[in-house]
Every structure is written in C-alpha cells, then in structure tokens.
Chain A
C-alpha cells in the first residue's frame, strides 16, 4: 500500500525531475543554485504581495490577529472624508507634484544633454557634476535644501534678493511647497540626462548630414530629427519618472518631519501619498488602511505601465 503510494507520487511528480537529471546529470544542482533566490522570492516578494492584498480587507495593527472587514478600508478611504480626510488630498498633492516636477526635470535634463552633446571636450566632467545630486542620499538632499530654503539666510533667497526678486518662504507657505519640491527634483535630473545622452548618441549622424544638404537650420534639425528620434527614450523616462514621482518619500519625510507634529508641512501641502501611507501604517498602526492604500498605488502604477506598453512603439525603426 505504502509502496504503491510512493510509486504513484514518484511517477507523477518526481519522475520527470529525476529522468531529466539523468539526462543532464545536473538538474538537482540547478535547483540548488536557485534555492536562495527562490526562498527570498517566496518570503520577501510573493508573500508580501499576496499579504498586502489580504490585509487590505482586514483591520489590523500588526500586534493582534487581522480581522476581516471586507471592503470597509477601500470604502472609507474613497468616500469617508471625515475620518480619512487626507486620502484624496494626498493623491492630489502627489498628482500636482508629479505634474510639475516630472516635466520640469525632463526639460532640464534634455537641455543639459543637448548642451553636453554639443561640446567635444570635457563631457565627462559635466556629466559627473550633473550626476552628483542623483547619488546623494534623500536624507542628505533634504537636509541641504532645508538650509538653502531658509527664509532669511538661505542661499536661494539671498540670491533672489541680489537679482532684485522677491524672497519666498519656500517651506513655510503651502503654495510654495510643491514648487520647492519640483526645484529639488529638477536639480536631481542627472539620471534622465544620462539616458537622453545615450539616446542622442544613437541617432545616426547621416540624418543630420542629409538635413544639412537639404538646407535645414539648427531648429529644424532639432524639431524634425532629434525630437522624433528621442521618442522611445522619452517614453521610457516618462514612465520611470512618473513611477518614481508617485512614490516620493525620503525627501518630503525629512523636509517636513518636525518632531512628532504635522508630518506633511504647513497646511499638509507636502503630504504626498506615500507619506500619508507611512503615517497610517507606522504612526496610527492602521495596517489595513495602509495596505489598501498601497494596493491602490500598485493599481495606479500598473495602469501607467500598461499605457506605456500600449503607446510606445515596441520595436523602433
């Protein structure tokens, strides 16, 4: 009886594996080699994805057992403006931040890439200088800019005064917060710049030569050759840029964290989506609500990614 069962199990599940390992002599070694990666995947990737979905239907504080509440979390996040006033607000802040920061850093990156591309010598020096802000820790970036944005003695306001412009209370006034964050993101545009440079380098020079023979000027060459040829690069950067902007956290956390008080800056104008999620999870221990928020974010990002696959020409040329 037991032997029969073993035989069935062997035939059904293990025969294929052992047979092929006879054939190749090393299936087992292959499985052994991927074991750490697979274990990690199960514990730190697969469980969290499924877990986040499950916990989003529960009320949970991470100490006691989760209690199933169905769609309560989603319903209240979306419609209960009294108990959860910041869901739509933080979504709006993030949308506004994305809408200003992504185009601003895009244009900056493109201008820098075109400038660097136009000079022959010293390209590496400028690339390095413009990439420094990207490799700096978010916490350090926020610390540096908090001092630069100082209303009285900050470098920026002193500079504005020197050229005769009105100094601003950058981090002290709700309407200035998103522009202040956008300036930081433009300062950190080095990644997009490097990708644009790679895109520019891949444009065949014969196109420009042909255009020159036809008498095209610099603007025409830019408008009708450079821009269209950069389309795939631009789409790639747009999607990665959007996804990164949706998830902005480090910089806003350090900029607006003021020892236990409000977390999102004056008027909660800097309360981005992930900051609000973090607040729900690790200040109020509403893990269910936070998981629902994280799942909504996942869906938004998924939609953006799918749109990319729809609109980007998959094979260019």
Chain B
C-alpha cells in the first residue's frame, strides 16, 4: 500500500512538472511581449534575452512606458482604442437585442412559415464568411456606410448562430411563466423584456463575451471597410504598425500589448463562463 502511494505521488509530480513546463512555454510569448514593450530601443537586441529591462551600458534595471506613450499618441493607438470601444460598445447591445428578439419569436410566437424561415436562416451558417466578403463590401458602400464606424457596426448587427443559440435556450424556459403574465394582460414585448431577458442572463453572458472577443479582434472587415487612419480599430492599427516598424520590436510589442490586454482582462474575469460555454456549444470563442 505504501509503495503504491509512493508511485502515485511520483507520477503526479511528473505530471505537474510536465504541465508547468508546457504552461511556461505557452505563456512565454505574452511575457516576452510585455518585457520587450517595457525596454528602451537599444536594450532590446541582446544576445542573451533578459526578462527585465536592463540598461546595456550601466547594467541598471529600469522600466519605461515611453513605448506605450509613443504608440498611443504618435501611432494613433489611442484613437484606435477609442474606436474599438465604440464599435464593440454599440454592436454588442444591438446584436444582443435583435438576436434575442428574433430567437424568442422563433421559439415561442407562432406565425405562418416560421419554421421554414428558421431553417432557411440556419442554412446560411454553412456559407464560409469569406465567400460573402465582396458583395458585403459592395452593399455596405451602397448603403453609404463605407469608411465609417457604422460600417463596422450595421453589417455585424445580427448573428444567426446567436439567434439559434438563444432560441434553443428560450425553448427550455417553462411556458407557465409567460402564460401567467399573459393572463395578467402583459404584452409580448413586456413579457420578453421583463420575464424572458432576466431569466436568460447566463446565455446572454455567453453571447456577450464571445461577441466581445470576436469584434475586438476582427481584422479583415475593418481592413476592407476603413481607409482613414482616424477611424482605424486596434487590430488595423496594429497590422499597420507591424508591417512598418517590424525592426522596432519595442514599439510593436507595446502595440500588441495594448490590443491584447483588454481581452486578457475580460477573459480572466469570465474564464469560467467562457470555458463552460465552449464545452456546451462547441463554439470557438
């Protein structure tokens, strides 16, 4: 018995050590990003990588935020950050409202042809996004949204997958709640806002977080819609910085950190929701 538990302990120790080494490898690009972004230009290119910024002449450890300041002010990252916030801040409530409204009707309010319509909607999920790109750009131009932040918002304001996800959730809610409210004379809209939405907080949270990550990171749509630097979003500003200044890693790393840190914070706060959501929906977030 004693020998067995010793073997057991040993095995577990090996497992943890292996996992820790892999975890360090996986996280090291992030650590390296932050570390480089805090260094002055001359101290970046060292034959032996240093975790902390060390002045190559004097050997002193220091920290500088100069790169962040430069990228934010001179390279338009402050504006881009603000633009990203605006887009995400408008697109998510809009999308949540439209998707939930539609999902609720598809789940609960019968009308002629409803299920056929829903099937038609679902079939559109088979088409890869890239196949829709060019006509979408064209229709965005026709609607007069080209090169504006609204062009990043309106064409992204509904997600069929989220309609589907919400509908499936609404189907699981007990009908009695709605019926009771209806007997009391509440309208459908009121039932939807005052009963259904509060009950759907968990699934709305999943949709919110996935949307946030998706829209915050999206590169290709802003890339084809926006061509004025003052309307760039963060990924766009970063793509431009990287292609122009790749010989100055301390600047590009500061830019990458600005684009990444908000997502990391959101992820660390909501990690339980997110990881559970993936396992439940099979949805990549």
Q: Which residues of A contact B (CB under 8 A)?
A: 16-17, 20-21, 24, 26-31, 33-34, 36-38, 40-41, 43-49, 51-52, 55, 62, 112, 115-116, 118-119, 122, 124-140, 142-148, 150, 152-153, 155, 158, 187, 191, 194-195, 197-198, 236, 240, 243-244, 246-247, 249-250, 253-254, 257-259, 274, 277-278, 281-282, 287, 290-291, 294-295, 297-298, 301-302, 305
Residue from B19, B224, B275 within 8 A of A194 (CB atoms): B275
A30 touches B130 (CB 8 A): no
Give the residues in chain B near A295, CB-CB below 8 Å: 131
Q: When A124-B271, A191-B284 are in contact, do A137 and B109 touch as well, CB less than 8 Å?
A: no
Task: Determine whether B260 belongs to the interface, using a CB cutoff of 8 Å to chain A.
Answer: yes
Question: Closest A-chain residue to B28, C-beta based?
Answer: A155
Name the distance in Å between A179's Cβ and chain B's nearest Cβ. 17
B131 touches A49 (CB 8 A): yes
Q: When A140-B256, A259-B243, A297-B130 are in contact, do A37 and B163 touch as well, CB less than 8 Å?
A: yes
Residue from B19, B32, B284 within 8 A of A148 (CB atoms): B32
B48 touches A158 (CB 8 A): yes
Residues from 184 to 199 in B contacting A, C-beta threshold 8 Å: 188-189, 192
A48 touches B242 (CB 8 A): no
Q: When A115-B19, A143-B253, A257-B239 are in contact, do A34 and B130 touch as well, CB less than 8 Å?
A: no
Give the residues in chain A near B121, CB-CB below 8 Å: 37, 41
Give the residues in chain B near A145, CB-CB below 8 Å: 29
- Interface flags, B236-256, vs A, CB<8A=1, else 0: 101101111010010011011
Q: A139-B256, A198-B279, A259-B244 are in contact. List 17 more A-B contacts (CB 8 A).
A: A28-B111, A29-B188, A29-B189, A30-B114, A31-B105, A33-B192, A45-B124, A119-B16, A125-B23, A131-B267, A135-B267, A155-B28, A197-B279, A254-B238, A257-B242, A282-B224, A298-B127
Give the residues in chain A near B253, CB-CB below 8 Å: 143-144, 147
Which interface residue of B27, B126, B127, B255 has the most chain A CB atoms within 10 A?
B127
Residues from 216 to 236 in B contacting A, C-beta threshold 8 Å: 216-217, 219-220, 223-224, 234-236
B112 touches A17 (CB 8 A): yes
A137 touches B238 (CB 8 A): yes
Give the residues in chain A near B128, CB-CB below 8 Å: 243, 246-247, 297-298, 301
Task: Determine whether B15 belongs to the interface, using a CB cutoff of 8 Å to chain A.
Answer: yes
Question: Closest B-chain residue to A119, C-beta based?
Answer: B15
Give the residues in chain A near B246, CB-CB below 8 Å: 146, 258
Q: When A27-B112, A143-B252 are in contact, do A38 and B117 touch as well, CB less than 8 Å?
A: yes
Q: When A137-B263, A139-B242 are in contact, do A55 and B134 touch as well, CB less than 8 Å?
A: yes
Name the distance in Å between A20's Cβ and chain B's nearest Cβ. 6
Question: Closest A-chain residue to B138, C-beta based?
Answer: A62
B238 touches A49 (CB 8 A): no
CA A169 – CA B39 in complex, angstroms?
Answer: 25
Per the CB 8 Å criterion, the residue count for chain B at the interface is: 97
Task: Determine whether B139 belongs to the interface, using a CB cutoff of 8 Å to chain A.
Answer: yes
A-B contacts, 11 listed (Cβ < 8 Å): A27-B110, A30-B109, A34-B105, A48-B139, A52-B135, A132-B264, A139-B259, A143-B255, A194-B279, A195-B282, A305-B126
Q: Which residues of B contact A (CB under 8 A)?
A: 12, 15-16, 18-19, 22-23, 26-30, 32-33, 36, 44-49, 98-99, 101-102, 104-106, 109-112, 114, 117, 120-121, 124, 126-139, 141, 155, 157-158, 160, 163, 188-189, 192, 213, 216-217, 219-220, 223-224, 234-236, 238-239, 241-244, 246, 249, 252-253, 255-256, 259-260, 263-264, 267-268, 271-272, 274-275, 278-279, 282, 284-285
Name the distance in Å between B126's Cβ and chain A's nearest Cβ. 7
Q: When A17-B112, A140-B238, A195-B279 are in contact, do A26 and B188 touch as well, CB less than 8 Å?
A: yes
Give the residues in chain A near B264, CB-CB below 8 Å: 132, 135-136
Give the residues in chain B near A282, CB-CB below 8 Å: 224
CA A116 – CA B23 in complex, angstroms?
Answer: 11
B101 touches A33 (CB 8 A): yes
Name the distance in Å between B15's Cβ and chain A's nearest Cβ. 5
Residue from B29, B132, B137, B255 within 8 A of A45 (CB atoms): B132
A17 touches B111 (CB 8 A): yes
Give the residues in chain A near B124, CB-CB below 8 Å: 41, 45-46, 49
CA A124 – CA B275 in complex, angstroms?
Answer: 9
Residue from A48, A138, A144 within 8 A of B136 (CB atoms): A48
Q: When A20-B111, A132-B27 are in contact, do A253 and B239 touch as well, CB less than 8 Å?
A: yes
Q: When A40-B158, A144-B29 are in contact, do A62 and B141 touch as well, CB less than 8 Å?
A: yes
B109 touches A153 (CB 8 A): no
Give the residues in chain B near A246, CB-CB below 8 Å: 128
B268 touches A40 (CB 8 A): no
CA A253 – CA B22 in complex, angstroms?
Answer: 28
**Which 9 residue pairs across A and B have the least CB separation, nearest first?**
A51-B135, A30-B109, A37-B102, A33-B105, A137-B217, A40-B158, A48-B132, A48-B135, A30-B111
Which interface residue of A30, A31, A191, A244 has the most chain B CB atoms within 10 A?
A30
Which interface residue of A137, A152, A287 has the most chain B CB atoms within 10 A?
A137
Give the residues in chain B near A29, CB-CB below 8 Å: 105, 109, 188-189
Residue from B49, B139, B243 within 8 A of A258 (CB atoms): B243
B26 touches A187 (CB 8 A): yes
Name the distance in Å between A40's Cβ and chain B's nearest Cβ. 4
Residue from B98, B126, B217, B219 within 8 A of A37 (CB atoms): B98
Residue from A33, A43, A112, A247 within 8 A of B22 (CB atoms): A112
